[in-house]
Structure 1
Amino acid sequence: MIILNVARWRLALLGLLCSLAVPVAAAKPSADPNSLTQRLDPLFEILSGRDAQFSVTVEGQLPIDGKNQSIQLQLTRYDDQAFDLIANHPEYAVSIRRRQEATALALPKHGVVYIGSGAVDSEDHLVPKAIVPRLVGSGCEIAPYLGLLASGDAKSTLALLSNFVEIKRTDSGWTIGGDVLITALENDPNTLQVSSGDSNATIRVAEPEEMAAIDAWPGMRSESIDRSELELHLARGARRAMEVLMPSRELTSAVEHPQTVDHGELRYVDGQRLVLLWGTPEQIGRAHGQLLRDESQRCIDSVLYAFGTVQTVLTGRWFRDDLEKAYVRLKPHIPADHLTETRALAQSLGQDPKTLEALNVFPELFHCSGFALFDSATVDGKLYHGRVLDYMTTIGLQDCATTFVVSVDGKIPFANVGYAAFTGSVSGMNDQSISLGEMGGKGEGQWDGAPMATLMRRALEECSTLAQVEKLWTDSPRTCEYYYVFADGKTNEAVGVAATPDSIEFIRPGEGHPLLGEGIADSLLLSAGGRLDTLRSRVQENHGKFDAEKSMWLMSRPVAMASNLHNVLFIPADGVFYVANADHKRPAAERPYVRFDLKKLLAPAADNRTAVASP
C-alpha cells in the first residue's frame, strides 16, 4: 500500500480539491512580484473559483515504500459539470473524465475504461460545483480550513498561517515552518516549485486544452457501468481516503457515547468500543446497526469504496463486481440465520442488503500469525492463545474496531473481536472456553464453500469441544487457503490447521512441520518468514516463563507487522481475553491491551433472556 508523507503536500491536495469550489468574491492580491502572496495568487484564483476554467498540474518526486518515485497529477476544469483528472505513476495510471451527460473511469495500464451515463446519486456524486464538502468531511483535519482557503484571499491565508509557523523570505524563495521551501520561477507567475526533504513538486497553472469526448479512448476496451454507482464509489472513496490520510480529532480522540437499545448495549472500556448483543438474529442485526451507525458507514467506505477503488486501479477489474460474484458462490454455504442477521443489519443502517453482503466477503483476504502455549511452556500451566491480525491499517479499519459479546437465542454465547458492520468472525472465544484465530494464505478466488468468517462464527456459537471444531472444518466445504489456531481451555488442548478447498491437515503441539520447523514442547506456533523465526526464538528462550504479560509481549514487533490491526490474547480457561487495536499512528502491538471478562459481560444478556422467558 502506497503511503504518502501527507503533511508536506497538503497544499497540492487542497489545490486539487478546492479548485472545484463555488465562485466567491475575494480581495485583490498584492502587485509586488516578489511577494509570496503574488506568487500564490494563481492558485488562489482557482481555490476561490474565480477562475472557472483552468488546468493545474502537479509533478513531483515523493518517497514511497522507501524510494523516491515519480507522481504526476493533472486536474482540468471546463465548467460546473465537466472536468478531467489524470494520475500517473510508473506502476499505475488512472483518469476520471466527467461530462454533464456521462462519467468515465479509465485504467490505461489495463486497457479498460468504465463509462456510465444518466442520473447520479443525490448526495454522493462528482459534480464539480461545490464538490469540496462532498470530498472532505468532518473526519478530516483540514475540513475547518477549507472555507478560508476557498475564499481566494492569499494575503489573509498567509497572515493566519504565520501565527502558527514561520514564513521567511530567502534568496531562493520562501520557507514555511523551516522545512518547506517554495520557489517561484523567474518571469513565470503561474509556476511554483515546492520541496521538503527528499520530496519535491512543480505546480503549474494553465488554460485548459480542448475538451475530449467522453468516449474518446483510442485502443481501450469500454465497459458500461451504472453511473450512480461509479460516482458514489469515487466520491465516498475519496472522502474516506482523506479521513484516513489526515484524521481529525473526531477520529483520533472520538467522543464516547454509551447507548442502550432493544437487544443491544454500547459501552466503552478504557477507550475501546464494546457492544453487547442478544436475542434473535433479526433483533441482533437491528441493534448492531442502531448502536454502530457511523462506525458501520466508515467501515463500508473503507472497504468497498476507498480500498475498492485502489483495487480497481491495480487490477483493472471493478472491485464490487468481484465481491458480488464471490458472494453468489459463497451464499449457499452461509446459514440462514446469518443471512437474516445481515439483512436486518442492512435495514437498520438504511443500506442495500447487497452492500452488507459484499462487505462481509472482505475477511476472505486477511493474513496473520498465532500461537498457543500451555502446561510446561507457561508459568501456571494455563493455556494462552495469542492471535495477531496483520491487515491494512492504511484503509482505516481501526476507526471501526469493536469487541462484540453476542448471545443468539438457542446458541452458545461468544466474544467476537471484530469491526462494525461485520457479522462473521476472525478472532473469537465462546463461553465453553473455545478460542479461535485465523491466518490467511493463498488461493484467493476459490470461493465455492463456506466463507472463512462464517465457519469461525459457526464454531463459536455451535462448538463446545475442540473435536467438534475439527469436525466442523473437516465436514464443511472450504474456501481458499487458510491456517488456524484453535484451543480449548477446559482441556489445555490446541491444534493448528492448514486448510484448502481440497485438503485439511491438523498440526498438534510439539510436532515438527516443514513450514514451521521443529516442534517445541507444549507449544503451537503459526506464522511465516522472519516473523516465525522471531516467534520461535522468543518461545524457546522463555519456555516455562509465559504468563499473560509475557504472552502479550510475544506478539510485539516484529512478530506483528507494521500493518498490525489488532492483537488478542485469549485465556479461555478463565473466560478472559485482552485486546489491543491499532490507531492512526501505531500498530496494535504498540498500543495498550484492554482486559475483558466474558463471563461477567454475558451476565446482562443472560438476565435479559431470563426476563423475556419469565411469565
Structure 2
Amino acid sequence: MIGEASEWHCSLFVAWGKATAADGHLYQLRALDYETEANIQKYPTIAVYVPEEGHPFANLGWAGVTGAVSGISSQQIAISEIGDDYDKANDTFQGMPFAFMLRDILQFDTSLDEAIARVKNTPRTTSLMYAIGDGEYGQGRALQTSHTLCNVFDPDNLEPLTPTHQRIPDVVYWGMSWNVPSYDGPLHDKLMEHYGRINAETTIRDILPNVRTGSLQAVVYDLTAMHIWLANARTEEESGPLKAYDRPFLHIDMNKVFSQARQLSQEKSTH
C-alpha cells in the first residue's frame, strides 16, 4: 500500500465542451509528483492486458509496481489520482488499496457512472482524490474520498471554492492536493488562458512546465481520439531535464495498440 502510506501529491484536470471547443475532444491530465531520487522511473512499462473477463486496458507504470496509478481502457475511460490527509482521523489501511481499485475500473467498467459506483462501493482506505474521464460520454468527474468520504464533483459544484480555486465551465481540476493555492492558482490561470483550445499540445508545452507538476510521471489523455502522451522522470543513466514534465513525451495511438493486442490474443488462443 505504498500509495496510501506515502501520499503521492499530484495534479489533475479533465476538460471538455467549451473548454476544448477548438477540436471538441475530452482531455485529461494525470501529473504524478513523487520522489524522483527513489528511481522508480528506471524501468517504465506500458502493460497492455486483454483479459478473459472485462476488456482490454493499458497500465502506465513501472516494473515492480502492482495495481494501476495511471491508465486508460479500451472503453475510453482514464484515471488520475492525488494523495492527501484531509481526513487523517478516519484513514485506515483496512480496505482495498487504491491502485487495485483503479485497475478494476480500467478492466471492468464501461462508463463514468460505473466507475463512480465502484469508488463509492469499494472499502476505501485513506484520503485520496481522483479524476475519471469518459470519452464516449464526453465528460469527467472529480472525486474527494477517504475511508468515510466520497464526494463527487462536476464543474458546477467543484470544491474547494477559494480565491485560487475558482470553478471553470466544463472543467474539473485540482493542483497538487486539496486546497493548495500555490498550485491551484497557476493551474486555474493556465486553464483559463487556454480556455476553448485546451489540448495535449497546450498542456505539454505551457500548462505543465509553468505549473511545475508531474515530476515523476506526466500523462495527457485524449479520450475522444484515444491517444496518450506520456513522460517519465530522467533515470540515472539518462541525460537532460530531471522532471517528467520537462522531458520529451511519447505519443501513442491507443486504438492501434488495443487493436493489435486483441489480434495477438486471438492468434494465441487459436494455437
Counterpart of 1:397 in structure 2 is: 40
Counterpart of 1:452 in structure 2 is: 98
1:507 corresponds to which of 153, 156, 160: 153
> Shift in Å at residue 394 of structure 1?
1.3
Q: Given the superposition, is the C-alpha separation of residues 611 and 514 from structure 1 closer, same or farther in structure 2, using an over 3 Å criterion?
A: closer
Counterpart of 1:374 in structure 2 is: 16
1:530 is the counterpart of 2:182: yes
Counterpart of 1:571 in structure 2 is: 222
Cα distance between partner residues in 2 of 1:554 and 1:363: 28
Counterpart of 2:238 in structure 1 is: none
Counterpart of 2:199 in structure 1 is: 547
Gaps of 5+ in 2: 236-240
Contact 1:564–1:588 (8 Å) recurs in 2: yes
Contact 2:158–2:172 (8 Å) recurs in 1: no
Cα distance between partner residues in 1 of 2:156 and 2:191: 12
Contact 2:79–2:102 (8 Å) recurs in 1: yes
TM-score, normalising length from structure 1? 0.40
Counterpart of 2:169 in structure 1 is: 521
1:363 is the counterpart of 2:15: no
1:590 is the counterpart of 2:246: yes
Cα distance between partner residues in 2 of 1:572 and 1:499: 24
Contact 2:70–2:80 (8 Å) recurs in 1: yes
How many aligned positions are there? 254
Contact 2:14–2:173 (8 Å) recurs in 1: yes
> Shift in Å at residue 493 of structure 1?
1.1
> Shift in Å at residue 362 of structure 1?
1.5
Q: Given the superposition, is the C-alpha separation of residues 479 and 522 from structure 1 closer, same or farther in structure 2, using an over 3 Å criterion?
A: same
Cα distance between partner residues in 2 of 1:392 and 1:560: 14
Deviations 1:253-302 (A, max 9, x none): xxxxxxxxxxxxxxxxxxxxxxxxxxxxxxxxxxxxxxxxxxxxxxxxxx
Counterpart of 1:603 in structure 2 is: 259
> Shift in Å at residue 555 of structure 1?
4.2
Q: Given the superposition, is the C-alpha separation of residues 539 and 510 from structure 1 closer, same or farther in structure 2, using an over 3 Å criterion?
A: farther
Instruction: Give SS of 2:224's match.
Output: helix
Where relative contact order (Cα < 8 A, 6+ residues apart) is larger, the structure is 2
> Shift in Å at residue 402 of structure 1?
1.7
Cα distance between partner residues in 2 of 1:482 and 1:405: 25
Contact 1:367–1:439 (8 Å) recurs in 2: yes
Cα distance between partner residues in 1 of 2:265 and 2:44: 27
> Shift in Å at residue 603 of structure 1?
2.9
Counterpart of 2:270 in structure 1 is: 614
Deviations 1:341-362 (A, max 9, x none): xxxxxxxxxxxxxxxxxxxx22
Cα distance between partner residues in 1 of 2:83 and 2:212: 14
Percent identical: 27
Contact 2:131–2:140 (8 Å) recurs in 1: yes
Contact 1:384–1:551 (8 Å) recurs in 2: no
Equivalences for residues 346-495 of structure 1 within 5 A: 361-364=1-4, 365=6, 366-378=8-20, 379-442=22-85, 443=88, 446-495=92-141
Cα distance between partner residues in 1 of 2:50 and 2:207: 29
Equivalences for residues 230-309 of structure 1 within 5 A: none
Deviations 1:189-223 (A, max 9, x none): xxxxxxxxxxxxxxxxxxxxxxxxxxxxxxxxxxx
Deviations 1:6-49 (A, max 9, x none): xxxxxxxxxxxxxxxxxxxxxxxxxxxxxxxxxxxxxxxxxxxx
Cα distance between partner residues in 2 of 1:431 and 1:479: 27
Contact 2:10–2:81 (8 Å) recurs in 1: yes
Gaps of 5+ in 1: 1-360
> Shift in Å at residue 502 of structure 1?
0.6
Contact 1:535–1:554 (8 Å) recurs in 2: no
Contact 2:91–2:127 (8 Å) recurs in 1: no
> Shift in Å at residue 477 of structure 1?
0.6
CA RMSD of aligned residues (A): 1.8
> Shift in Å at residue 422 of structure 1?
1.6
Letter in 2 for 1:601: V
Contact 2:50–2:265 (8 Å) recurs in 1: no
Deviations 1:80-113 (A, max 9, x none): xxxxxxxxxxxxxxxxxxxxxxxxxxxxxxxxxx
Q: Larger C-alpha radius of gyration, 1 or 2? A: 1
